[in-house]
A and B are shown apart, each in its own frame.
Chain A
């Protein structure tokens, strides 16, 4: 019996088509992606059949978690910086620039201003935990004639912050910015009790904010 000679084949696989497909896929993902902001408290929003999209700039997100805690975030860091400065002044609290930056890096405001210095001494894990269980106080502050709550002060400070930023722009830059005002997005969890939402809306009405956008997920209409 003769020896079977195994012919050595060249096993080179051409990867060019594969890489073509990959480039295509990559382009698709790069173009269609919306970067999700890294927020400490995330909520699952309810579904609706509306077609309008949430705008991506000039928004003030008010997050209400299932336990009724209120958190706030905005898309521009500068707005948050200005608002934070304003709030620190209002609430007579002092922070160094580094400390301020640390607060802003969380992307979400979720603790009372007065407790910020104490908050900054904690480890990062504890800070995240604290934000998750605290929230911005919605009860009206003592020693204030206008009976405003810290939440209302934050909304006002954020709005002012954005306005200041907008007013500092040159005329040419202004034409490129579509919104002259911050838009309020209410982002509550499916399971958030209505009483919590009612409280937030009532406080907003108190400071003459009566137009909001409710953030929802796309849902198919059953027919």
Chain B
């Protein structure tokens, strides 16, 4: 019989080599980095009028001519705008002006429109934003619907619901009760935008201009077709429509 050894605990080094583990991690990270995109795409809502010929004609005439601006998106990223004071003037090629994209161009035009500047609305929105952002986090969730509704009111011209960076709750409630029929003298005029992309413009132009509508707080805009009335304006300025 073998001699029984005295059980002596051998001291083992408990160091584990992590290098293979790190290698594997690296591989996994590389996989996840390549396979996915970090950013989720943004969605822009677009509602087109249902096809109903009779309704459209009536709706178009609702906005006053002087509060309207027509935008033509043309080939080679060109952008033109058309403002007339009187309905009779529509069709006169002289009133067409060219502008550029972005902050210095089209946004300035919309901000400083002669009769319905969106500057006022944008300022009101800034105030609404500051009110909302200064609320404590718990309050923000509760007031989310109020914020959205107030934004709609501002877009309709009820800029007096905000004052000095605060929401005037009394006025908000008053408008809220009867938004459709609420008419007060201090409602500011709002701009109506006719967006008319030519067939040779590109999709990027369309999305950029729709985005500009959001930035400039414009509630009334429509994507419209080029019709007979637009043709003399475009042809008179030598703009290629095909």
Whether chains A and B associate is yes
Interface residues of A (CB under 8 A from B): 12, 14-16, 18-19, 22-23, 25-26, 29-30, 32-36, 45-56, 64, 185-186, 188-198, 201, 204-206, 208, 210-219, 221-223
The reply to whether B199 and A216 contact each other, CB–CB distance below 8 Å, is no
CA distance A179 to B73 in the complex (A): 35
The reply to whether B202 and A190 contact each other, CB–CB distance below 8 Å, is yes
Give 7 nearest A-B pairs by CB, closest first: A15-B18, A33-B36, A22-B25, A195-B199, A29-B32, A213-B43, A190-B204
Majority secondary structure of chain B interface residues (helix, strand, loop or mixed):
mixed
The reply to whether B37 and A25 contact each other, CB–CB distance below 8 Å, is no
Would you give the shortest CB distance from B236 to chain A, in whole angstroms? 22
Q: What would be 11 A-B contacts, judged by CB atoms less than 8 Å apart?
A: A18-B18, A34-B36, A35-B36, A46-B204, A48-B214, A54-B43, A195-B200, A211-B47, A212-B46, A212-B48, A213-B45
CA distance A61 to B40 in the complex (A): 14
Majority secondary structure of chain A interface residues (helix, strand, loop or mixed):
mixed
CA distance A49 to B102 in the complex (A): 12
> Which among B18, B29, B43 is the interface contact of A29 at CB below 8 angstroms?
B29
* Chain B residue at smallest Cβ distance from A223: B103
Which parts of B9-62 form the interface with A (CB within 8 Å)?
15, 17-19, 21-22, 25-26, 28-29, 32-33, 35-51
The reply to whether B41 and A53 contact each other, CB–CB distance below 8 Å, is yes
CA distance A120 to B88 in the complex (A): 61
The reply to whether B37 and A34 contact each other, CB–CB distance below 8 Å, is yes
Interface residues of B (CB under 8 A from A): 15, 17-19, 21-22, 25-26, 28-29, 32-33, 35-51, 73, 102-103, 197-208, 210-211, 214-215
The reply to whether A194 and B51 contact each other, CB–CB distance below 8 Å, is no
> Which among B26, B36, B37, B45 is the interface contact of A211 at CB below 8 angstroms?
B45
The reply to whether A51 and B103 contact each other, CB–CB distance below 8 Å, is no
Chain B residues positioned under 8 Å from A221 (CB to CB): 215
* Chain A residue at smallest Cβ distance from B50: A210
The reply to whether A218 and B38 contact each other, CB–CB distance below 8 Å, is no
- Assuming the contacts A193-B201, A218-B42, asked whether A205 and B48 have C-beta atoms less than 8 A apart, the reply is yes
The reply to whether B51 and A214 contact each other, CB–CB distance below 8 Å, is no
Chain A residues positioned under 8 Å from B211 (CB to CB): 48-50, 216, 219
Contacts A49-B214, A194-B206 known; list 20 others, CB within 8 Å.
Answer: A26-B28, A26-B29, A34-B36, A34-B38, A36-B35, A48-B44, A48-B207, A50-B42, A50-B43, A52-B43, A190-B203, A194-B73, A194-B197, A194-B199, A210-B48, A212-B48, A215-B42, A216-B41, A217-B39, A223-B103
